[in-house]
Structure 1
Amino acid sequence: MPIPSSQTALVQQTSAPSFVSVGVGVQNYTCNATSLTYSNVGAVAELFDISCLFGTSSFTTIQDEAFNIWHKAPSSVTVLEAIKFLGGNQLILGQHYFVPNPKPAAGSPAISPKWDFTSAADKGNANAFVIGAKVGDLPAPTGKTDVDWLQVKNVEGALADTVYRVYTKGGQPPSSCTAGAPLLTVKYTSQYWLFGGSIQK
């Protein structure tokens, strides 16, 4: 897995991933009226399988290709349509979005990330999801315009024990905002690596 060795925020896995995908979607932000900066309030993305690209030159660049298409696409083009422009027969694994924190505690976020395969690759399997909690955060090695790389642990679901967001592209908001500004959506792509879990291909 492509984690820089000169950091300790993310822990390298020693086992093979259960799923490797690219997420194409948006990061959502609202304006904090006090600090006049944007606060992240979740994300929404479609996830497509890239395991067939492992070992090829496209494996580490597919998210960049997807971002170039998605970023330039007009608002009338859906995420799924943008993915089709990559060519080939992309297998949609599922969706990534945020839900209310299933295990709220003092100091914990109100919402939690979810990776959900129950309506796509594992349609009908009610356990084919994972809701996670962030345990590691690394600024993207590629620059400040790309969202952070993350390590997330399972708090609910059988899809994975650990999820990583790496090779990110885009998704960062402007550095400031105006009080009362509407919800801001910023296009992004990234690779998501899922490890463990009882749901296998």
Structure 2
Amino acid sequence: MLCNLWVASALCAVALSAPTIPYSSAAAERPTEMKVLSEYFNMLGSKVQAGNQMAEAPVCDLSNAVLPTASPTALPKPSEGLVLKHVAIGRGTQNYSCSTGNATAPPAAVGAIATLYNASCVASTYPDLLNLLPSVALQFNLSSVSQTSLTPSNLAISGHHLFTNTTTPFFTLNTDAMQLGVAPCAKNNSVSAPTSAVKGQYDQGFGAVAWLKLTARSGATGNLEEVYRVNTAGGNPPATCAGMPATFEVQYAAEYWFYESA
């Protein structure tokens, strides 16, 4: 009975929450979308079945979580002495601008905005399921800012991500449920997303944004020191501004890993 109760509570974070799946009569023509969603729901079902056979309930312990590594080039490891504090799925938009007088110029990145959803326990107990969530979440349209959980999971909001200027990504992990701190950041390093990453919504798009290592700037609280953006899906703009408006958004999702000083 105890194990069955644990399975229900632990997997509810990634369980189906009766979303409206954006299938259409042309869904079969979108192989990436179909593969991603099928793999997610099949894996979720297998986790429930396996959980029912467990003799003991696993412990939600962030020391068991392992930061994903890009291949063939990896981001630098977290600095010595830091420990993992929080893992979140970010779902939002990468924002760009274009010069109307130069159609051949590449779009300029002008920041991003995203809601962060608490995935810490999923990271420590179901890393394979966690790593599917950005690609799966991207297949569902963004809802209003009042959305309280990540479609198609039940991950609860744990914070927000925005830019205070074009070079300062900012994260707040302060909510009514928990106060984990805030972190204005600077880019420390980046590597291209793997070629297998989902390029955009519904098997369309221009590629996944880079994986990043960020370091906290002055003003960070909660002992937050470093932030990683990994397992990205979507977010890249077209190669040029041809046919694009002066400003536009590209939807994306990613995992964010937050490290604190011990």
What's the offset of the Cα at 1:150?
0.3
Aligned residues: 179
The structure that is strand-richer by fraction is 1
Identity level (%): 26
- Written as runs of structure 1 = structure 2, the 5 A alignment for 1:41-190 is 41-54=110-123, 55-56=125-126, 57-70=128-141, 77-78=143-144, 81=147, 83-88=149-154, 90-100=155-165, 110-122=166-178, 128-141=181-194, 142-143=196-197, 145-156=207-218, 157-159=220-222, 160-178=224-242, 181-190=245-254
Letter in 2 for 1:158: T
What's the offset of the Cα at 1:12?
1.7
Instruction: Tell me which of 109, 123, 126 is aligned to 1:40.
Output: 109
Letter in 1 for 2:162: Y
Instruction: Render the CA deviation track for 1:134-175: whole Å, top value 9, x for unaligned.
Output: 010101013560000000011131242000000000001111
Change (3 A) 1:7 1:84: closer
Return the TM-score normalized by structure 2. Answer: 0.61
> Which protein shows a greater Rg?
2
Q: Is the 8 A contact 2:148 2:156 kept in 1?
A: no
Distance 1:83 1:188 in 2: 16
Instruction: Render the CA deviation track for 1:101-153: whole Å, top value 9, x for unaligned.
Output: xxxxxxxxx53000012345446x8xx20000001010101356000000001
Distance 1:166 1:189 in 2: 10
Q: Is the 8 A contact 2:96 2:249 kept in 1?
A: yes
Change (3 A) 1:91 1:116: same
Instruction: Render the CA deviation track for 1:64-83: whole Å, top value 9, x for unaligned.
Output: 1111113xx5xxx3255394
5+ long unaligned stretches in structure 2:
1-66, 198-205
Task: Specify the SS of the correspondent of 2:254.
Answer: strand
Distance 2:259 2:153 in 1: 27
Change (3 A) 1:140 1:120: farther
Distance 1:193 1:26 in 2: 18
Return the TM-score normalized by structure 1. Answer: 0.78
The structure that is helix-richer by fraction is 2
Task: Specify the SS of the correspondent of 1:53.
Answer: helix
Instruction: Render the CA deviation track for 1:20-59: whole Å, top value 9, x for unaligned.
Output: 0000000000014555210110000000011121232312
Correspondence for 2:35: none
RMSD (Å) for aligned C-alpha atoms: 2.6
Letter in 1 for 2:258: L
Letter in 2 for 1:49: N
Q: Is the 8 A contact 1:97 1:113 kept in 2?
A: yes
Q: Is the 8 A contact 2:225 2:259 kept in 1?
A: yes
Letter in 1 for 2:189: G
Q: Is the 8 A contact 2:167 2:186 kept in 1?
A: no
- Answering whether residue 258 of structure 2 is matched by residue 194 of structure 1, we say yes
Change (3 A) 1:120 1:132: farther
